Amino acid sequence: MKFLSRRLVMPEDLNYAKTLFGGRALEWIDEEAAIYVICQLGTKYIVTKHIGAISFENAATEGDVVEFGLTTKAVGRTSITVSCLLRNKFTGNTICSVDEMVFVKVNPETRLPEPHGKTLDDLAEETKESLRKLNIGV
Ligand SMILES: CC(C)(COP(=O)(O)OP(=O)(O)OC[C@H]1O[C@@H](n2cnc3c(N)ncnc32)[C@H](O)[C@@H]1OP(=O)(O)O)[C@@H](O)C(=O)NCCC(=O)NCCS
């Protein structure tokens, strides 16, 4: 799982118990996963089809830096399945995990599913190349 993105928990992200609002966490996760999938498939014409089990493990509070981990679980003909973990950057505690999120590539005009032409091996290779370009660890 790669952790490539972070956010700061701000006052407007809190619920009345002064912890990160679950709806906000899910909004962030959906966006982060969509960005990840757009980069993996190389197209912005994707839609969220299915979100599997969601588990809220620990609260986050104002001022916490949180980070998003994404991994590709499966690659189909028109779909891709990813999982996402939201955790506290400093404690490492999991805030929320989503076991599977299915995105489908659609035709921009018809909005019907269309093949993305990728395999799990293609994506593993492309991810390795992108990470190399980021100079992580240098
Ligand atoms: C996405 C959409 C075009 C798919 O239509 P569909 O009739 O389900 O299409 P298909 O049956 O051909 O399935 C497409 C892919 O999704 C997968 N899929 C369909 N239903 C699924 C489900 N419930 N769970 C997991 N995967 C599913 C299929 O296995 C297929 O994958 P594959 O081609 O890799 O094998 C249509 O459901 C839709 O427009 N949904 C609304 C999307 C949306 O508005 N999302 C929120 C905003 S982004």
Pocket residue to mutate for ligand 1, from 104, 107, 118, most atoms within 8 A of Cβ? 104
Query: Would you state the structure tokens that stand for residue 15, as one six-digit string?
Result: 């619920």
pLDDT at 135: 67
- pTM assigned to the model: 0.92
* pLDDT at residue 138 greater than cutoff 70: no
Residue ranges and CATH numbers for the domains of the chain are: 2-131 (3.10.129.10)
Computed from CA positions of residues 121, 103, 30, 38, in that sequence, does the dihedral angle turn out positive or negative? positive
pLDDT at 95: 97
Query: Residue 119 C-alpha to ligand 1 middle, in angstroms?
Result: 18
Query: Residue 118 C-alpha to ligand 1 middle, in angstroms?
Result: 17
Q: Which atom of ligand 1 is nearest to the CA of 34?
A: 48
pLDDT at 136: 64
Neighbours of 52 (CB within 10 A): 12
